[in-house]
Amino acid sequence: MNLNLNLKKVSRRMVLELAVVIALVSFNVNFPKHDSASQAWKFVFHHPTILLHIIVGTIVAVEAIILLVRAIRGHDRFWITVSALGLALVLVAFASGETYVSTQKTSALTLMGNAAAVALVAYGVGWYWGRRRTRASIADARQPSVESDTDLRTQVN
């Protein structure tokens, strides 16, 4: 199977999973104010929506690492760029979320949201351009090449 097609599918899945991660925290969740970091983490682990947000976010981080490794092994600069950018943004969002729970600083929450949104866009670009590249490679495969016609004539004679 075509590496570009596989990475395109993973990129599409990343877009959908990041949309789920963003949707899970878009509900009105009120963190208890002025609690210690341990109390805030206790709240996180007892709140089902936030806990799902963390679980799906962790899955996204692991898949982002796997996508980058597969792109590097495939020597595809486009996918290396998209997956490295996406992974960096996912890790920034992950770290910012942890910082927000521990400190309750709104700047960390803003950074987490912005990094997740830009990661979604990065993987969306990979999905879109991966589709275009797949279509172009299929179209190229359908066109007979001049070399193959020459080779066939040589073999017949």
The DSSP line for 99-132 is HHHHH--HHHHHHHHHHHHHHHHHHHHHHHHHHH
The structural domain count of the chain equals 1
The number of residues in the chain equals 157
Distances (CA, A) of 38 to 43, 78, 103, 122: 9, 42, 10, 34
- Predicted confidence at residue 112, as pLDDT, reads 95
Other Cβ atoms within 10 Å of 1 Cβ, number:
6
Q: Give the pLDDT score at 154.
A: 55
Q: Which domain holds residue 56?
A: 3-156
Task: Give pLDDT tens digits for 14-30.
Answer: 999 999 999 998 877 77
Q: What is residue 151's predicted lDDT score, i.e. its pLDDT?
A: 54
**Nearest CA among 121, 145, 141 for reference residue 4:** 141
pLDDT digits (tens, 9 = 90+) for 79-110: 999 999 999 999 999 999 999 999 889 999 99
Sign of CA dihedral 33, 36, 37, 38: negative
